[in-house]
A = this chain, B = another copy of it.
Amino acid sequence: MAQQKATNITWHEGSVTREERERLLGQKGVTLWMTGLSASGKSTIAVVLEQMLLHRKKHAYRLDGDNIRHGLNKNLGFSAEDRAENIRRVGEVAKLFTDAGVIAITSFISPYKKDRDAVRANLKPGEFIEVYVKVSLEAAEKRDPKGLYKKARAGQLNGFTGIDDPYEAPEKPEVVIDTETMKPEVAAERLLRHLEECGYLAA
């Protein structure tokens, strides 16, 4: 036990607890894991949800290809092994943010059930919300904002999910968002409501 000179506060041994951090933030840490085909709308929904949460004074942070593939996972490629390691690392980082009391929103295709289930198993019950961002291959291919499906069809991209690599849809996701019938802002509102109703927006 150590005493702070100035104020006589007693600093306890051991770290600040998860509960103390959550009380400070007025929310519970959780990982909101978006999975779906390329162009399904994962990132768009994540961006809007993050804004809605900020507006509610909640602390969220997005993990996506932009800040992971160029940083933590820049030494990984697209082999089956590297894809699994990519998702494993994202899962571990999301777990740290969750432990820090943050609402971690991940948007990765994460096509394999096995990899997603490993992330779920690594978190405590209630800390992992799997969001299936559902779209037909036809609709995703029609959107194709980055021209990736076109390239994959032309044989310029190998192992592209939906074209020459499988997408394994979640069997029991906590939330399903069909982006052929639901706009991003409506989808984000639905996720916000889910977080609220399940108690994540209060400590």
* Chain A residues packing against B (C-beta within 8 Å): 2-6, 9, 11-16, 20-21, 24-25, 47-48, 50-52, 54-55, 57, 59-63, 67, 71-72, 75, 85, 89, 92-93, 95-97, 99-102, 122, 183-186, 188-189
Q: Roughly how many angstroms separate A61 CA and B21 CA in the complex, as a whole number?
A: 9
Q: Is the CB of B47 within 8 A of A71?
A: no
Please give the count of copies of this chain that the complex contains. Answer: 2
Q: Roughly how many angstroms separate A45 CA and B97 CA in the complex, as a whole number?
A: 22
Q: Roughly how many angstroms separate A25 CA and B61 CA in the complex, as a whole number?
A: 13
Q: Is the CB of B185 within 8 A of A2?
A: yes
Q: Is the CB of B59 within 8 A of A11?
A: no
The answer, among B11, B96, B101, for a CB contact under 8 Å with A63, is B96
The answer, among B9, B13, B50, for a CB contact under 8 Å with A47, is B13
Q: Which residues of B contact A85 (CB under 8 A)?
A: 75
- Give the secondary structure class of A's interface: helix
Given pairs A21-B59, A67-B99, A72-B93, 20 additional interface contacts (CB within 8 A): A2-B48, A4-B185, A5-B186, A13-B47, A14-B47, A15-B47, A16-B50, A16-B51, A16-B54, A21-B54, A24-B59, A25-B59, A59-B100, A63-B96, A71-B96, A71-B122, A72-B96, A93-B96, A96-B97, A102-B102
8 shortest A-B CB distances, which residue pairs?
A2-B185, A72-B92, A61-B100, A71-B92, A16-B50, A16-B54, A11-B48, A11-B51
Known: A47-B15, A62-B15. A4 touches B52 (CB 8 A): yes
Q: Roughly how many angstroms separate A11 CA and B48 CA in the complex, as a whole number?
A: 7
Q: Roughly how many angstroms separate A59 CA and B3 CA in the complex, as a whole number?
A: 22
Q: Which residues of B contact A62 (CB under 8 A)?
A: 15
